[in-house]
Structure 1
């Protein structure tokens, strides 16, 4: 029994040092989640439930084409950002929403809430310098306060859409770049294809036929990459990579740069 306090401390520390790869237990009302097996198309005929124009304007104003972010500029528009997040909170998904609408909603919510987190703690060298950036409940949906982990792991990953990993931005250099336009239901298919293609063929991966040094994202979420209903990481990458990887290629994972993705 003497060792119990020490063991408790170790377990607490292991739990506390989370990253965007950390899994989180989620207790969300089913109204926030859609059947992950429903079909995703960009030509969905349902009525658009949310107008993301404010977020679109902020992204175009403060995010460069290379994904680097003007956080000082964002801080000057914090009132607009807060208004957008409040609008999302008051108009959350329900059973009448289509899969494209829900994907666009939660991707935009995650990215906007991450920007808010950074500017609230600015200046900061890394999002990991902020206490519990992903696990602390700080995002309001309806009457429920949830965490960024809840959005990513408890909602989006349950929708069986692996391309979300290239749409979510964790405010770091090695993250897939922040798209400088809002995700929308009518363009979601095209946008997810774009961000996935750009990331896989970016400097964050070094791919040859016989060897692939790839982003740690592919290690953290390896089980999410499905091709023909089977887990197939190489097969998934080869759908987008300009260089095709042999099935017996050597795979390794690159170190992740957690420095802030701030424009110079």
Structure 2
């Protein structure tokens, strides 16, 4: 009888220990899982451009005209978004599209903020030191619109950024009324390129002549690393032009892209 009792007690003890081990392993696994989820949540927070998306939908029309008066009324939200970006700078492990979304949105939001802070104004060029002034916070650094464009975005080997960033002027590529995200990056970059190249108010192709935006003159080297300028433009042009097409450049309209 004692032998049977001892055997039963041993089995019961093993069973309890096994459950304890399973419980401990489950708890540890749960902690690891929660940690992973938390890391994902935090990372997604860094890429959250929903506030900027909401403002763009409210104050930018489909033609890229901007209600700076409207943005001025929502200046607290503008500041909150820029603060969010400033406190969550890009990390070394971010993908190219994550960095592109961050800096394109930062540039565009910074430009709108610059105009709003000086509104009303007839042109961004009426604002002193508009592009070189260092006032935009990115982590521990304070940077400028000029540095974001030339020292960051242009070095990312993606010439379509020139169609995505807006300089608050009518001759600029239009400001989209949606925010860039890592997931939408390729689609939106292609859209901005197609829209800009085929916009007859910014580029004209008639009579064997290409009358181009000065963006193609100022940044020609960015567009011609792998091909000629006209071949690059033909990638997005609905009716491609011949290689011998004469190229000239249009005057640039720096007047404010304000809603009328």
TM-score (norm 1): 0.80
Provide the rounded CA distance (Å) in 2 between the counterparts of 1:75 and 1:48. 25
The list of structure 1 runs, each at least 4 consecutive aligned residues, that deviate by more than 6 angstroms after superposition, is none
Q: Which residue of 2 aligns with 1:96?
A: 93
Q: Does 1:238 align with 2:254?
A: no
Provide the rounded CA distance (Å) in 1 between the counterparts of 2:243 and 2:85. 43
Provide the rounded CA distance (Å) in 2 between the counterparts of 1:258 and 1:209. 27
The structure with the largest alpha-carbon Rg is 2
- The structure where helix makes up a greater share of residues is 2
Task: Count how many residue pairs are aligned between Structure 1 and Structure 2.
Answer: 217
Aligned positions of 1:94-133 closer than 5 A: 94-133=91-130
Question: What whole-Å deviation, never above 9, does each CA across 1:150-192 have from its counterpart, x for those lacking one?
Answer: 0000000000100000000000000000000000000100000
Aligned positions of 1:155-234 closer than 5 A: 155-202=152-199, 203-208=201-206, 210-226=208-224, 230-234=226-230
Q: Which residue of 2 aligns with 1:24?
A: none
Q: Which residue of 2 aligns with 1:250?
A: 246
Provide the rounded CA distance (Å) in 2 between the counterparts of 1:209 and 1:157. 33
C-alpha contact (below 8 Å) 1:110/1:151 kept by paired residues: yes
Shift in Å at residue 145 of structure 1? 1.0
Provide the rounded CA distance (Å) in 1 between the counterparts of 2:258 and 2:197. 21
C-alpha contact (below 8 Å) 1:48/1:185 kept by paired residues: no
C-alpha contact (below 8 Å) 2:46/2:85 kept by paired residues: no
Provide the rounded CA distance (Å) in 2 between the counterparts of 1:263 and 1:48. 32
Shift in Å at residue 210 of structure 1? 2.1
Q: Which residue of 2 aligns with 1:34?
A: none
Q: Which residue of 2 aligns with 1:40?
A: none
- More contact order relative to length (CA 8 Å, sep ≥ 6): 1
Q: Which residue of 1 aligns with 2:53?
A: 56
Shift in Å at residue 242 of structure 1? 1.4
TM-score (norm 2): 0.81
C-alpha contact (below 8 Å) 1:127/1:260 kept by paired residues: yes
Gaps of 5+ in 1: 1-45
RMSD: 1.3
Question: What whole-Å deviation, never above 9, does each CA across 1:190-242 have from its counterpart, x for those lacking one?
Answer: 0000011000000200013721000000000000014xx52421111000111
